[in-house]
Chain A
């Protein structure tokens, strides 16, 4: 069942459009990955689906409900979680406070969700009282993902979660993302490390200049000779 769909999205930040009739669709419990060269509009597509830029054409549907007109905050209430690429933590606040702020909109108890996040990222429990800004890059990404998970989103959107972390930490993060998907959270992710990202993807989108170029399962895209030659370095 399709959980989230950005349908024929057209739009950009100013007068010029970055996205042209771009469509991204995610099924429940799956991992969808958006890859493409620099400037292909990957992050823009994700921001468009989260309501961070105005679309001039197309629509965004979450769980059968048209959310195109909603603000990002309203989409958080509807069950979307977003981890921005940069400044994605409250660096002066402790790890635990970061998670609490992630759950700000929730009126019920959050202890259980916090325990889940801690079991997913054990290092965060160890460092719960430390300011998040003092952590390493990889740990900060864990805080960022943990913060977004605190609302118990249906769909978790990650904008280049592995940007700027070491290869070992990257593997670790991908493992965690698979684990999150197994708990039933649908994941949409934009990635620079296309090969690795596609290897864990149920569905992959290759964007070029704001348009869909290839759409297939992750494995099929990895096997596709055109995709390999153009985007994966052979």
Chain B
């Protein structure tokens, strides 16, 4: 029996908890992508860089807070910096809309023009971020690292295997749940939120109903910028902040949004977890788990790892291709791409 529990603790420690955390980060990122797709009807390739920008802005504020000695220990200081980071990102994103996307909106340009413009925005924002904060790694988490660490867990339970839960993981899950609840409340219960859904559902009829498209677009960007900043900070808190990783996150984020059904917020969340758990479970080495579950004194020979972690991006890619081939509207029936 203890063998089974030990096996489960390994799974929880290396697969379930990290998968859940990563899933939350992807879900928040995918929500931003899906909102923009639903309202502005294009795939926003600059979203990863928006996350990076938001995280950078928050880190700059965090450094200032640290320099004047403000902290909220045991919680990381960056959480205190988050509201200002969000404001800065909202301002920046609205400025890009004013400078770039509005021009194409007025011209009623096809979605592909927006997409190409967003790729341009991606490079500009990426360069801007590196220009300010540099391309190197930055440590974001200055609070207490663990809520439960592996040694304590072993002492408490008497098991051979330890379960560690990082503060950043707990923060990620709590913040994501709160944010998703708030977002759904906004979209389903408020007049403005409903007008966004109406605009996403049927643009012409929304116009006939007197819904102001520019206002809907502005609110969408504000929500997107806030989501991107929070997702970016949570990712940086959990790992570390490095501009290049946010560029790489674009693929799993898009895979999440498309798998769930583009334009469908519920789908973005489901897709985020699906991609995260696929990635983590395919690249996880099951050797020790099977060792506990198999016969006494037996260990499998290899690592029992389906794919090396170097291939983790291939997982999103394969899922993306499969979904586009067999169910182009995604699990929750969003729009086809």
A and B co-occur in one complex: yes
Q: Contact partner of A87 among B191, B204, B211, CB < 8 A? A: B204
User: Is the CB–CB distance between B201 and A73 below 8 Å?
Assistant: no
Instruction: Say yes or no: B204 contacts A101, CB within 8 Å.
Output: no
Min distance, Cβ A67 to any Cβ of chain B, angstroms? 15
A161 to chain B, nearest CB (A): 15
What are the residues of chain A within 8 A of B197 when measuring CB–CB? 90, 92-93, 97
Contact A104 B209 (CB under 8 A): yes
B147 within 8 A of A: no
- A76 within 8 A of partner (CB): yes
Q: Which residues of B contact A76 (CB under 8 A)?
A: 208-210
CB distance from B122 to the nearest CB of A (A): 30
The answer to whether A93 touches B210 (Cβ under 8 A) is no
**Cβ contact within 8 Å between A89 and B191:** no
Give the secondary structure class of B's interface.
helix
Q: A100-B191, A101-B194 are in contact. Are A91 and B210 (CB under 8 A)?
A: no
Chain B residue contacts of A104, Cβ below 8 A: 191, 195, 198, 209-211
B207 touches A101 (CB 8 A): no
Interface assignment of A218: CB less than 8 Å from any CB of chain B? no
Q: How many residues of B contact A (CB 8 A)?
A: 15
| CB within 8 Å of A: which B178-215 residues | 191, 194-195, 197-198, 201-202, 204-211
Chain A residues 69-87 with CB under 8 Å of chain B are 72-73, 76-77, 82, 84, 87
Q: Are A89 and B209 in contact (CB under 8 A)?
A: no
Residues of B within 8 A of A89 (CB): 202, 205
Q: Is A115 an interface residue (CB 8 A)?
A: no
Whether the pair A90, B208 counts as a contact (CB closer than 8 A) is no
Q: Contact between A92 and B191 (Cβ–Cβ < 8 Å)?
A: no
Query: Contact: B209 with A87, CB < 8 Å?
Result: no
Name A100's closest neighbour in chain B (CB-CB). Answer: B194
Instruction: State the Cβ distance, A118 to closest chain B Cβ, in Å.
Output: 19
Quick check: A97 and B194 within 8 Å, CB to CB?
Answer: yes
Report how far A104 CA is from B210 CA in the complex, Å: 6
Would A87 and B210 count as touching, CB distance under 8 A? no
Q: Among B198, B207, B208, which residue has the most Cβ atoms of chain A within 10 A?
A: B208
Identify the A interface with B (CB < 8 A): 72-73, 76-77, 82, 84, 87-93, 97, 100-102, 104-105, 147, 151
Chain B interface residues (CB < 8 Å from chain A): 191, 194-195, 197-198, 201-202, 204-211
